[in-house]
Structure 1
């Protein structure tokens, strides 16, 4: 059986920034395929270019050169309105700080409903909460959740929106070990359900869960490691 095409394909993608001292290159001509399922981690030290690359993949930033396709669509041909629509309908975003992903004035269930509505979808909050180990928290204020539970809810919001791809920027970096464990459990669940999750991280435990690890340094792709995904299936 033929392998499905990658959800993302990057060919020679580079990102430049203008500074008072001149042009600075944040990402150097990266060529990389990202599978349609499983966890792909962009790994590397601070300043390696992984967050810059994630912004490109999240369609927040246009590369200075190279080609980027998403679900076989040449993203470079899309105007800003089309890019926003694609981001709204297909991409779920999870930021480092859990509370930045949520509406503090809404309860837990209403956060899920609001996420679904933003993408023109409907959801059953209790079903999603049960799948993520947050049973019975639907009427809670977001502030009553731990950091790890808040981040779990943030991933739940991407499920409510029925996103094709979940992009997470250092999702465990602001959490203590116990809270990070909750997020790792959520990622295991998503991998087992054949979602495409793309995360930046230098957390070795998250990196170990990945089916593919892209190693970045100084804005360059140093290599790609492949891991067996079957051990993470539920």
Structure 2
């Protein structure tokens, strides 16, 4: 993955070969600038690799037009950003955020069922601003469930949270892993890394190795 800068072309990722399983938590770990977030954007189909191949369920994504990539993101991929408010529509209630997420993927959902699964019972009529940061991140993962996403990508989902709020997010990740969702997380949070069934460690845009647990 290359980026053009005033100083010239910078390579964000180089020679990364990785197979991501269809279930469990895969953590991309490494220091700042190691390529974690770039790799997540490539896997989420927000960026096209300058070289190499990215396959999703055997399909070479390079052969997809913009509409095909957009449809794949809509129907199969859920994205959770590190800043909780960026994941949600603050002018909608908690339940309506879930309904809107489902509608964006042309689906229906039962908000009460999803909220119950995530430990957010009774918050359906609340405004998003009434939730703590950890609850907002839980709701963001709930929106991915409402869309029917089979793959959920999260970029540093605990980095903006205090310890208690981060605990809520870690609990949600455990829940998703137990139900065989494919969760791909970029993080340097040691507690989150410990949850990973696979940990891919990156440095300077290169893959140093993959730990399987």
Match of 1:162 in 2: 148
Q: 2:47 aligns with which of 47, 55, 61?
A: 61
Which sections of structure 1, spanning at least 5 residues, go unmatched? Answer: 1-14, 228-234
Matched, 1:38 2:24: yes
Matched, 1:207 2:193: yes
Q: How does 1:110-149 map to 2 (within 5 A)?
A: 110-149=96-135
Runs of 4+ in structure 1 off by over 3 angstroms are none
SS at 1:151 equivalent:
helix
Matched, 1:153 2:153: no
What RMSD in Å do the two structures reach over aligned CA positions?
A: 0.5
Q: Distance in 2 between matches of 1:19 and 1:151?
A: 33
Q: Can you list the C-alpha shifts for 1:51-98, whole angstroms capped at 9, x where unaligned? A: 011110010100000011011111011111111111111100000001
Q: Distance in 1 between matches of 2:186 and 2:14?
A: 17
Q: Distance in 2 between matches of 1:153 and 1:20?
A: 40
Kindly tell me the number of residue pairs found equivalent between the two proteins: 213
Select the structure with the greater relative contact order (CA < 8 A; seq sep ≥ 6).
Answer: 2
Normalising by structure 2, we get a TM-score of 0.99
- Cα offset for 1:20? 2.0
Which sections of structure 2, spanning at least 5 residues, go unmatched? Answer: none
Q: Distance in 1 between matches of 2:156 and 2:4?
A: 26
Structure in which a larger fraction of residues adopt strand: 1
Match of 1:105 in 2: 91
- Cα offset for 1:111? 0.3
- Cα offset for 1:164? 1.1
Q: How does 1:69-108 map to 2 (within 5 A)?
A: 69-108=55-94
Match of 2:35 in 1: 49
Normalising by structure 1, we get a TM-score of 0.90
Q: Distance in 1 between matches of 2:68 and 2:108?
A: 23
Q: Distance in 2 between matches of 1:21 and 1:44?
A: 25
